[in-house]
Structure 1
Amino acid sequence: MSFEEWTVCKLGDIVDVSQGLAINSKSKYLLQNTGLPLLRITDLFNNVQIQFINPKKVPKQFIANEDELIYTRTGQVGYVFKGRTGVVHNNCFKVFPKSDNLDKNFLYWFLYQKSIREYANLIASGSVQKDLTHSAFKSIEISVPPLPTQHRIVEILSSLDNKIELNRQTNATLEAIAQAIFKEWFVNFNFPGATGEMIESELGMIPKGWRVGKLEEIITNYDRKRVPLSSRERENRKGIFPYFGAASILDYVDDYIFDGIYLLMGEDGTVITENGKPVLQYVSGKFWVNNHTHVLQGRSPFSTEYVLLQLKNTNVKHIVTGAVQPKINQGNMNELPVIIPDEFPLLSFQEIINPIFNNILDTEQETSILTKIRDDLLPKFMNGEINISN
C-alpha cells in the first residue's frame, strides 16, 4: 500500500473536542474528599489523585473514561494521556474521533509524537503561559491511512509500550522492596545488631553512636561537569545517548559527559513531588545532562542507592526557592540534615540491596532500548516511511 492511499486532512475534519471543567468560585462547591479524581495536568503527569469531584453533580461532558484521550492545552501544552478515569480539568480537553474510520489509539500515537507536541506549542497563544485553543488544535494536519494499516501501527507501538510499562511496574516493585528495608533499618532503627539504646538529636531519637550530619557529607556533586545544549544544538547532534533534564530524558544526542551510576536531583523547574519529596532519577550508562538537575553519587561508605533511598524519605519543600521557577540550589541542598549511621549497618545494607538494584538497572536498560525503538519508529509509521500494510 502506497502513501498515496492515505488521506491528508485537518484534525478538525475527523475529531471533536470537549473542554474540561473550570474550577472557580462558582464551581468549587463540587470539590469534596472522595468521588471522581480531578485530572489536572500535574495529576496526569504524576499519576496521582489529589482533589476529588462529586460525581452526582458534575455534568457528564467533563468526565473521562479509561478509553478516552485527554490532551493538555494550558501551560504544558501538547501532551496526550489515555487510561485515566476522572473529571477533566479546564487546562485539558478530551479528544475523540467523529467516526469509526479513525482508530482512537492511532489518534493517540499521532498526538504522542514529539513533532506534533512542538508544533502545538508553536501555534499556541500566550508569551508567559501557552494556551492552545480548540481552533488551533483542529488546524493541525494529519495523514490517515486505511483502517487495517492504522490497526497494524497501533498493534506494533502498543506491544512495545506494554512491555515498557511492565518493566516500569517491575522496577517500582523492586524499589519498594528496597525502600521497605531502608525504612526498617534507618527510620525505624530495626537493623541487625541494634541494641535499642537511643539518644536525642535534632531529628528526634536516633541509635547511640549515630549522629546528624548534612547531605553534603554523604554525596559527591558533579554539577560542574554539566553542559546544557539548546534545542537547536540538540537537533544538529542527534545520537544514541540520552540527554536528561530536571525530571526526564529530553532528547538523544551524539556524545556523553557521564558514564556510570548516578543520581539526578531536579534543580530548576520540576523539583518536588506532590508530597514534598525531591524529583529524582536513578540513571546508569553513558548520558548527557543539562544544567537543570544536580548530578550526584554516594560518597564512600554511602552508596548512590543509599542516597536515593534517603532522599526519597526527605521532605525538601522548605528549601525550594523561586515563585515563578521553583529551584533547589546547591547550597540549600547541601545543608539538608541527614542521619549518619555506623559503617557496619551501611555495608550490610548495601550487600542486601545490591542484587535488587542490579535487576533495576538491567530492566531500565532494556526499557531505554525499547523506548528508543518506539520513538524512532513512531514518526516513520506516521509519515508512511515504513510500509507495514502487508
Structure 2
Amino acid sequence: MSWQSIRFGDAYAEASRNGVYKPKEFHGAGAKIVNMGELFRYDFIAGQEMARLQMSDSELSKSGLCDGDLLFGRRSLVDEGAGKCSLVANVTEPTTFESSLIRVRVRQDVFDPRFLFYWFKSPGGRGRIRAIVSGVNVKGIRGSDLQNIEVVLPDLPTQQRIAGILSAYDDLIENNRRRIGLLEQAARLLYREWFVHFRFPGHETTKFVDGLPEGWSRPKLGEICSTNKKSHKAGKLPTRLRYIDIGSVSTGRIDHSTEMSAEEAPGRARRIAEDGDTIWSNVRPNLRAYALVTAPRPEDVFSTGFTILHAETVSPYFLYLAVTTDDFVKHLENHATGVGYPAVRADDFERALVIKPTDAVMAKFHELCQPIFSQRQQLFDQNAQLSRARDLLLPRLMDGRIPV
C-alpha cells in the first residue's frame, strides 16, 4: 500500500471559508447555523437542532454547508476547541456556520472527506493541528496555516476502506445514542405527566390546594439540593486525574475527559461530583451542556465552570429532569450576565422555584426511573467501549500498520 504526503490545501475543491457573522436582529429564524457548541458536541453535523439565522440565497450559495464539508474550530476559549474537526453528513435543510469556524470542501473524486476527518482525529493529525494553534486567552488557528498542514494518506480506494471500518464503529455509537435519546424522552414524558399535568398515581382522589396537590410544595431549588458541595483544596488534587471541562459535556452526556497530572491541571480543575449529581455548564446555558453523573472515578475532577447539583431531599433522577426542562433553561437564560459569553452563577440555580411532591410520590417516581436510567447507562458504557476500540484502531489504520 502506497502512502504519500500532500499539502492539505491541495485537496481543496475551493478556497477555505470563514463562517458568517450577523447582528442580533437576523437571528432566530431562517437557515440552521452551526456554532461552536455544535462543533464541540458532534463529530458529525447532520439534522441536529440548532440556532437559526436569516440568510439570502446568495449568502447560502457562498456559506452554505454540503455533505462532506469539514468544519474546523477557528477560535475557542478552551484548548481542545481550537482546530477541532467535525464532518458534515446528511444535512436535511439549508445550513450555514458561524464566524468562529472554518469550512473546508475537498475534491471528493480524489479524497474521501471521511478519511480526512478521521486523520484529523488521529494522534498525527491532532499533533499537526496543535502545531498551528496560537493565542493565550483565546486559542485559534488560521486558514492560511491549516492549508499548509502536511497530510499523509493512501489512494482513494484505501481511504474509503479505512473510513468504512471506522465509520462502522461510529454508526453503532450513533444508534446507541438514538436509543439513549428515546430512554431519556420516556423519563421526561413521565416527569411531565406527573409534575406538570399532575396525572400521578392517585391524582383522581387527591385534593388540590392553591394549584398544587395536597402535601406538595413549591420550594426554591436550593432547599432541595446543594450546589458545589465538594471541591479539592489547592494543591490537593489526585496525582493523576481525569479532567472534565465544560467543553467535554454536551446535552445529556459527558463526551470525554482529559487525563493529566496534577501539575498540568488548570486552576479551574477543582470540583468533585458524586454518583447521581447533575452538572450544568455556567457558560451559555442556551447550549444545554449538562449531564447526570453516574459511577464517577475517584480521579475525576470537574471544572469550576460547572455548577454541580447534589440531591438532598429528592430523587437524583427527579432533580436531573427538573433542572433540564425548557422552562428551567429559560430561567437560566434570563439570569445569565455578560455579552460575549453569558453565564450564570450557583445562586441563579438555587433561587429557581421547583415543585416538590410528597415523599411517597417521589419514591414511586424514583422506582420507575431507576431501570430507565440504568439501561441508559449501559448504552453509555457500550459506547465508551466502542469508542475505545475505534480509537485503538485509528492510529494503526492511519499510518498503515494495519493493511486493508
TM-score (norm 2): 0.77
**Aligned residue in 1 for 2:164:** 155
Give the Å deviation of 1:54: 4.1
Residue 7 (structure 1) aligned to one of 1, 4, 9: 4
Residue 114 of structure 2 corresponds to: 105
- Structure 1 portions without partners, runs of 5+: none
**Mapped contact 2:60–2:96 kept (Cα < 8 A):** no
2:386 is the counterpart of 1:370: yes
How far residue 33 of structure 1 moved from its aligned partner, in angstroms, is: 6.4
Q: Would the aligned equivalents of 2:229 and 2:308 in 1 still touch at CA under 8 Å?
A: yes
For residue 172 of structure 1, the aligned residue among 181, 184, 190 is 181
Q: 2:151 aligns with which of 113, 118, 142?
A: 142
Report SS of the residue matched to 1:49: coil
- Does the CA-based 8 Å contact 1:215-1:333 persist in structure 2? yes
**2:285 aligned with 1:272, yes or no?**
yes
Q: C-alpha deviations, 1:31-63, integer Å up to 9, x for none?
A: 486543233333555643322334534252322
8 A contact 1:32–1:54 mirrored in 2: no
State yes or no: 1:192 paired with 2:201. yes
Q: Could you say which residue in structure 2 is the equivalent of 1:79?
A: 84
The amino acid of 1:134's aligned partner reads G
Q: How does 1:317-328 map to 2 (within 5 A)?
A: 317-321=333-337, 327-328=343-344
Deviation larger for 328-337 or 283-292 = 328-337
1:99 offset after TM fit, Å?
5.9
Match of 1:219 in 2: 225
Counterpart contact for 2:243–2:303, Cα < 8 Å: no
- The aligned counterpart of 2:267 is none
Equivalent residues, number: 365
Q: Deviations over 1:291-330 (max 9, x none)?
A: 3334444335x22111110111223234445566655444
User: What RMSD, in angstroms, separates the aligned Cα atoms of the two structures?
Assistant: 3.4
Report if aligned partners of 1:226, 1:290 keep a CA contact under 8 Å in 2.
no
Is 1:305 the counterpart of 2:311 in the alignment? no
How far apart in 2 are the matches of 1:242 and 1:388? 33
For the residues of structure 2 that align with 1:267 and 1:58, how far apart are their CA atoms? 33
1:235-384 to 2 correspondence within 5 Å?
A: 237=240, 243-246=243-246, 247=249, 248=254, 249-252=256-259, 261-268=275-282, 270=283, 272-274=285-287, 279-287=289-297, 288-292=300-304, 293-300=306-313, 302-313=314-325, 314=328, 315-321=331-337, 327-384=343-400
For the structure 1 residues 23 and 45, does the alpha-carbon distance in structure 2 shift closer, same or farther, using more than 3 Å as the test?
A: same
Q: 2: distance between equivalents of 1:371 and 1:114?
A: 15
Query: 1:79 Cα deviation (Å)?
Result: 2.3
Contact persistence 2:275–2:294 (CA under 8 A): yes
Percent sequence identity is 23
User: Does the CA-based 8 Å contact 1:227-1:290 persist in structure 2?
Assistant: no
Once residues 254 and 93 of structure 1 are traced to their aligned partners in structure 2, the CA distance between those partners, rounded to angstroms, is 32
The 8 Å contact of residues 10 and 139 in structure 1, kept in 2 or not, is answered as yes
Partner SS, residue 59 of structure 2: coil
**Which residue of structure 2 aligns with residue 40 of structure 1?**
35
The 3 A distance-change label for structure 1 pair 32 and 265 is closer
Q: Is the 8 A contact 1:17 1:93 kept in 2?
A: no
Deviation string, structure 1 residues 2-49 (Cα, Å, up to 9, x no partner): xxx321232123235431453347xx99x4865432333335556433
- Structure 1 residues 187 and 118: alpha-carbon distance in aligned structure 2, compared to 1, 3 A threshold: farther
Alignment partners' CA distance in 2, 1:271 and 1:56: 30
Q: Which letter maps to 1:263?
A: D
> What is the DSSP-based 3-state SS (H/G/I as helix, E as strand, rest coil) of the residue aligned with 1:9?
strand
Quick check: 1:153–1:388 contact (8 Å CA) kept in 2? no
Change (3 A) 1:188 1:226: farther
- Can you give the 5+ residue segments of structure 2 that lack an aligned partner in the other structure? 42-47, 263-270
2:266 aligns with none
TM-score, scaled relative to structure 1 = 0.80
CA shift in 2, pair 1:381/1:242, >3 Å = farther
Change (3 A) 1:228 1:371: farther
1:140 CA displacement = 1.6
Question: How far apart, in 2, do the equivalents of 1:87 and 1:267 lie?
Answer: 25
Among candidates 8, 22, 36, match of residue 20 of structure 2: 22
Q: Aligned to 1:378, what secondary structure does the other structure show?
A: helix
